[in-house]
A and B are shown apart, each in its own frame.
Chain A
């Protein structure tokens, strides 16, 4: 790949931004840990599960005292793209299908939600027809039943509000045109409220189309929902699930209460035990540990601060869980910017990074990796093209003729990203560059580095799972068709036509071992020949809960499931 390659290529408007996951946000469990999870009696799973967390008979009622570190990104399903909000939306909103409310491999299964059954697939895998449940009602003040036209409206609305999820739906016939014009609707979605059916016609086969429909972006909102963020507009924060948002005060709190219009239409959507969830905003990880230990807090969305983990594991062993998560931490090397437009430089940096050392900066809470695909996925096949070798790295830099150039490393100011960026700067300095570090607030960081106008040479990144398939880690980030001016997912600007073609072909394959083998092969090929990023860690997720909180289930996509939780008296 070269910078000129990138600029010469027409870019597809398929933007898929990562979860703007703060340092300790929730992510997903590893598929490989499924057996462990299952053996934990349906609890989230991990290396240190709370054996008593789910013991006993669930009790209905009570208010869960929860907290998070800062405001959620959005409470609007069309715009929400952070782990915390997906966690809450999985309890309040529904789409045609969903990921089964379970942990481990079981949680990767797609099951009907608003649809009465799985779709009828025809047209060689390009047509999906769903029959929609009758009698599912929107929460107050809408108080009417969900229609297929609401679902069509909700998906079209994604394009009108510039949702970060639009990229998942542009293969629907007419979607690309609608994205440009915002007029006339998407011709490939046919909703019939009389027969209660909705049909999707795709321009081409896509092996993960149902996964796209199971994400919160495709949740049903009533026709008439404004084409703007409704996070702070109570009358349009409409739910279909067992819970609904009662109030949201930014920098204050969120109150989630039971949806009076909810009646269980499918066993796939549990009824829930809690009466209310009160989320306090602005609680730091340290503060959360203290409050949970004192019994003043039940649940914290983010992970335990690394320096507190050892002590609380010793003191409160039954209240600590360490989940394996499919999170990839890496430094992006921007192929559009010198000296990163030289593959020798990108390979040199990969050789010069001591990955186990870098993992220590993250509290040792994870495992070193050189792969694009996280080790928890079944498609993962370890490769080791870049063993730590500073001499070889220096030789490559010498050969590139770029020694002495200025390089800036970007990171958010959320701990420990500045420390990681300083490590990367020291690596670059040891290779003969003049490295500096730029940090900024996490609230704006990911949008800033994904903008062509800023285009940093080297930037810290973290990719959490959108859906449980390796496509999310290979195609979504390294196919040149996803390069956009704003909100690009291909931050490295890798745009190699031969690789793009291979990825496009694999996306059409049905989910299964053959497809996974192709992603694994592409993972190795991209890293070996292009080295567009420096992957260094798959991160784990330690959590600390109050002793009265039970029913912990860690789902592959929706993270921790509030409807499963209950409080002992």
Chain B
């Protein structure tokens, strides 16, 4: 596997925004103004919100109002009216009905007679949940590791850096497959807590862990620069302890970078979920996800390409919208962005 680091567009180095907390509100407002003027980013944000809407309330509404069939309801023996004719959902030779302008089976059926459009909507729910939740967990873990590493330096920094090096030394997908393969057999036991092998938490944890270095390293670099700034020294002079300094002074100043990284890593995590599910080590096969739907349609790609194309397009739109939005956020939050040709 040659895939290594996703291009998040952020490198170790000085903070994009490194200002005392007092100036933060003004900076956020300025950033929002810049973002609103970035048409591409706004369109991308709109597309992503639409996908979110379609996958969460939209999926439920579609099932209740139009399709009347949930994502896991199998219908191998049923018939529907299509073009004025009564046609089987799955023919005797196993061929599922194709796409058509109708409420039921808008995108056709899969091999088990399930409504592909409904599964696509619910699959989006799963993939976005995994993508966003793993990005949140990944970001949280990265902050927990990155801020102390940058603030304390010394042995703490060296220890965290070596840990990040260790994770980084594995190709991402290989590491994810290895961890997933272990966890999907017996689940995960953390003390008294047992996580079932079919739980969505398994892919969420796996994906979060393998991408920690891609957020923790830039954060650490930024904190290294921030810890010598006057506002940090002033806080220490006023008697603030390390925890207070890190949470009250440093954390707000790395928030902008974190937000950009978080946005970009969501797209990456959704792609990883799709890849792992396609390989059979991601989301449980009983739960629709975009990766699972592609996997299920793979064997009929020649004769029923819509089964793989539909989730593939959904993944592509989500990833592009998040990447464009993330780029827009980075430009908006970077005070040098305007001079570099960013949004004005």
Contacts and interface: CB of A to CB of B under 8 A. Distances in A.
Interface stretch (B37-45, B165-173, B297-305, B318-326): B297-305
B197 interface: yes
Chain A interface helix/strand/loop/mixed = helix
B4 to A, nearest CB: 25
B286 A436 contact: yes
Interface in B177-199: 184, 196-198
B280 interface: yes
A261 B309 CA distance: 56
Contacts of A364: 91-94
B-side interface mostly: loop
B285 interface: yes
B60 interface: no
B296 A423 contact: no
Contacts, number: 82
Interface stretch (B69-77, B138-146, B217-225): B69-77
Interface in A402-458: 413, 415-416, 418-419, 421-423, 425-426, 435-439
B111 A419 contact: yes
Nearest to B95: A307
A240 B73 CA distance: 56
Interface residues of A, number: 33
B200 to A, nearest CB: 13
Interface in B98-112: 111-112
Contact of A306 (B93, B284, B285): B93
Nearest to A284: B299
B133 interface: no
Nearest to A413: B280
Contacts of B90: 357, 360
B94 A437 contact: no
A361 B111 contact: yes
Interface in B104-146: 111-113
A310 interface: yes
A436 B111 contact: no
Nearest to B75: A357
A354 interface: yes
A308 interface: yes
Interface in A280-315: 286, 305-311
Contacts of A310: 93, 95
Given A310-B93, A360-B90, A364-B94, A422 B112 contact: yes
A358 interface: yes
A357 B299 contact: no
Interface string A73-92: 00000000000000000000
A488 to B, nearest CB: 21
Interface in A356-399: 356-358, 360-365
B186 to A, nearest CB: 11
Interface in B280-312: 280, 284-286, 296, 298-304
Given A306-B93, A423-B112, A439-B280, 14 more contacts: A306-B94, A308-B302, A308-B303, A310-B95, A354-B77, A360-B91, A360-B92, A361-B94, A361-B112, A363-B93, A363-B94, A419-B296, A426-B73, A435-B286
A418 B299 CA distance: 12
Contacts of A306: 93-94
Nearest to A306: B94
Contact of B284 (A358, A416, A419, A437): A437
B74 A418 contact: no
Given A423-B112, A437-B286, A362 B94 contact: yes
Contacts of A305: 299
A418 B303 contact: no
A441 to B, nearest CB: 8
B77 A307 contact: no
Interface in B65-99: 72-74, 76-77, 90-95
Contact of A422 (B184, B286, B298, B301): B286
8 closest pairs, A vs B, by CB? Answer: A357-B76, A363-B94, A307-B303, A364-B93, A415-B299, A307-B300, A357-B77, A364-B92
A413 B285 CA distance: 10
A454 B304 CA distance: 37
Contact of A418 (B77, B197, B296): B296
B189 to A, nearest CB: 17
A420 to B, nearest CB: 9
Contacts of A439: 280, 285
Contact of B197 (A413, A435, A438): A438
A415 B284 CA distance: 16
Contact of A423 (B76, B280, B303, B304): B76
